Amino acid sequence: MQSGRRRAKGSYNRPMDSSESRVGLVLFAHGARDPRWADPFLRLRRKVESARPGTPVRLAYLELMSPDLEGAVTELVGVGCRSVRVVPIFLGQGGHVRRDLPALVQAVASRHPGVGIALSDAIGDNDAVLDGIAAACVAALPA
């Protein structure tokens, strides 16, 4: 991480403790007008659910698609989650991740005071993700 770079992650309401409650996961993406745009996110959700059977996973979108973050968290609370981890499926830490998403998480947390909500770094900050993208780019080149 570059010095001086603001990160989005944080915890809201109370620290997450997976030993005390069921933890749900929100995969948070931008959204688009074309519903086909969501296809890779739906596949990602299925992969996460397959890797962590029993963990409730929901998609949420910043705009143009449903559900929004409030809707996804409400669904998770409805299935018994008292802790929620929000993972921004964004490659970088732009304005949506640094400013908009923390404000949304804080607003949602205020409407669910008994639920611990933690915000992770953008997925693009994960070197394994970048390694996978780099491998796919290299594979696109002629041998």
DSSP H or E segment with residue 116: strand 116-119
* Phi then psi dihedrals of residue 17, to 5 deg: -135, 100
Per residue in 4-45, pLDDT (tens digit) is 333 456 777 764 555 557 999 999 999 999 999 999 999 999
Report the candidate in 56, 53, 54 with the shortest Cα–Cα distance to residue 82: 56
d(CA 44, CA 141): 25
Could you tell me the domains of the chain? Answer: 10-139 (3.40.50.1400)
d(CA 134, CA 106): 34
User: Can you say whether residue 38 is alpha, beta or left, with left for phi > 0 and alpha for psi between -120 and 50 degrees?
Assistant: alpha
| pLDDT (0 to 100) of residue 127 | 96
Contact assessment for residue 90 and residue 97, using Cβ atoms and an 8 Å cutoff? yes
Tokens 């923390």 appear where?
102
What proportion of the chain, given as a percentage, has pLDDT over 90? 80
Per residue in 82-120, pLDDT (tens digit) is 999 999 999 988 888 889 999 999 999 999 999 999 999
Q: What's the pTM?
A: 0.86
CA-to-CA separations, 31 to 66, 91, 114, in angstroms, rounded: 8, 14, 28
Tell which wins on pLDDT, 64 or 11: 64
